Amino acid sequence: MKTTMMDQALSINHFLDRAGTLFKHNEIVSRLPDKTLVRHSYGQWHRRTLSLASALQRAGLQKGDRVATLCWNHHMHLEAYFGIPAAGGVMHTLNLRLSAEELGWIAADAKDRILIVDDVLLPLYLQMAALHAFERVIVFPFSGAPVPPEFTSYEAFIAEGDADGFTPVPHGEDEAIAICYTSGTTGRPKGVAYSHRSTVLHTLVGCLGDHWGLRGIDVVMPVTPMFHANSWGMPYGAVMVGAKLVFPGPHLHADDLLDLMQLEPPTLSLGVPTIWMSLIQTYERSLTEHPGRWKLPAGMRSLVGGAAVPESLIRAFDAHGIWIMQGWGMTETSPIATISYARAELKDASAEERYRRAAMAGVIAPLVELRLKTEEGLIAPWDGQTMGEVQVRGPFITGSYHEVPVTEDKFTADGWLRTGDVATLDDLGFLRITDRTKDLIKSGGEWISSVDVENALMAHPAVAEAAVIAIPDEKWSERPLACVVFKPGQNAPAEALNAHLISHGFAKWQCPERYEVIAAVPRTSTGKFWKLKLREMFPR
Ligand code: ADP
């Protein structure tokens, strides 16, 4: 029996075409470094995107070649999201919070050929340039200053493209369109590649009414950096439905976001808990210190994830008419795997119960299968009590890492991704994250590898042993605490240890918040650092 047109591949190029024809009058607003706003219509954006794709092809881009971006959130980054795949390339979003050493290594590992960089980030590029030689560096004149003559200006580059004569490169659904690196528990970060198919399916799932409920009349403010797991899928969703986009550019401080919200009130936003925590505190202070300075956009829905969302944050926003939807996922899961929403069974639930549920990671998204594996290797029942490692599979869950052999510590023999998160599931299918087995600390939405910090600390002449754990932090979600054993008769103050880390390529925010001197690091029966014991010793 013949079925529907199987030769019609799922493709984000379709979203691009659609936006350029159907939504050409809708707006994309970006905040520039000088805080002024620049406006483009989707029609203009569409032409610029096709010009970029055409120019990339003329510059010799071959199918599957990687083009890196080192950019803030703005219209040009959205051009790259669609223009690079339309040219047949793979967009590699570089995380501007990483050190130059890490960025250089990642760019080399991904074999990035071309880089598109914001002019305001050129100093970071110049530091990493020695570690990876891009064939071409295209500089976006984001600040409006002239582009230094040794680089190609983005505007001059796309002016060489032929938007009218360009046809997007034919492709298979499973061909990569983007790659994003995730922090390694030990050693190096690993690349996760997304395909046209995975991106389209993830976008459709994200847009469901129970999730973002994204509509064409929405005004979307993506605060989550576009270098994080393709900004949780929202840029693709906004283009698919033609929703107005408001990009904050480099201005992510609470005052700046509140100012932007007055100018362009969003109906939907997304970001990590740290951002919203500081935003609500600043706003509440302003009510007495500067009454009337800001108004929160009541009715806005906000997707918050990347770290546990405290119930207090959900309550604080709800008091101002803003509902926070918590999501859980990973770069490896595209990233949405669960979202907390009010299920039919909860329609008559008390406010207390609704808050309690909203503070959980949420309900398993369609097309995602999720199970909890207990330490005994059993599948945990959905009793809200039994803990197990979260394992997932599905069409937008990665099946491997870029050029890394598939190993059993990351993927089970029967084909599930091991997330390194520990959780319970209750009878309504709500996931509650309780612990993490991967040795990583998440501070303000960015990873710190405890193992890397430990190794660097143990290279200090006074340190015999060092074990680093996460402690809860109201502002940053988590911060690193280092437990240090000094060599006999030796000592070093925290400032000296942090200076040592910085000289070894760590950023300031990656350095431990606190040091505790201990006599010996507790060890498990197999001789590994017993972090559980340390977490008990230093709960906060
Ligand atoms: P992203 O770029 O989306 O933040 P990462 O791959 O960097 O994705 O981080 C994924 C990890 O972040 C998860 O495995 C988990 O440890 C943590 N995380 C994400 N969302 C939540 C959440 N809602 N609650 C608790 N932890 C979370």
Q: What ranges do the domains of the chain cover?
A: 13-23+34-195, 253-394+417-436, 441-537
CB of residue 308 inside a 6 A radius of ligand 1: yes
Q: Write down the pLDDT at residue 490.
A: 92
327 CA: nearest ligand 1 atom: 23
| Distance from the alpha carbon of residue 447 to the mean position of ligand 1, in angstroms | 10
Catalytic residue, candidates 410, 447, 476, 478:
447
Active site residue 182: yes
Q: Determine whether the shortest distance from the Cβ of 305 to ligand 1 is under 6 A.
A: yes
Does the N-terminal peptide bond of residue 248 adopt cis geometry, omega within 30 degrees of 0? no
The CATH superfamily holding the domain 253-394+417-436 is ANL, N-terminal domain (3.40.50.12780)
- At residue 6, the pLDDT reads 82
- Is residue 190 within 8 Å of residue 181, measured between CB atoms? yes
Catalytic residue among 190, 438, 442, 531: 442
Catalytic annotation on 294? Answer: no
Q: How many CB atoms sit inside 10 A of residue 414's CB?
A: 7
Q: What pLDDT is attached to residue 207?
A: 97
Does the beta carbon of 242 lie inside 6 Å of ligand 1? no
pTM: 0.93
pLDDT tier at 11 (50, 70, 90 boundaries)?
A: very high
pLDDT digits (tens, 9 = 90+) for 19-69: 999 999 999 999 999 999 999 999 999 999 999 999 999 999 999 999 999
The preferred substitution site among 311, 390, 418, 421 for testing ligand 1, maximizing ligand atoms within 8 Å of CB, is: 421
Take atom 9 of ligand 1 and give the residue whose Cα is closest.
330
* Fold of the CATH domain 13-23+34-195: Rossmann fold (3.40.50)
At residue 125, the 3 state secondary structure works out as helix
Q: Which helix (H) or strand (E) holds 375?
A: none
CB of 335 shorter than 6 A to ligand 1? yes
Q: Is 418 in the pocket of ligand 1 (CB under 6 A)?
A: no
CB 447 within 8 A of CB 440: yes
Identical fold between 253-394+417-436 and 441-537? no
Decide if 486 contacts 492 (C-beta within 8 A).
yes
The pLDDT value recorded for residue 256 is 98
Q: State whether the beta carbon of 78 lies less than 6 angstroms from ligand 1.
A: no
**Which CATH superfamily, name and number, covers 441-537?**
ANL, C-terminal domain (3.30.300.30)
The verdict on the CB of residue 224 being under 6 Å from ligand 1 is: no
Among candidate residues 49, 93, 152, 182, the one labeled active-site is 182
What is residue 333's DSSP assignment?
A: G
pLDDT per residue over 424-479, tens digit each? 999 999 999 988 888 889 999 888 888 889 989 988 999 989 999 999 998 999 99
DSSP strand pairing (446-449 vs 440-443): antiparallel
Looking at residue 233, its pLDDT comes to 97
186: pLDDT strictly greater than 70: no
Amino acid in the structure at residue 224: T
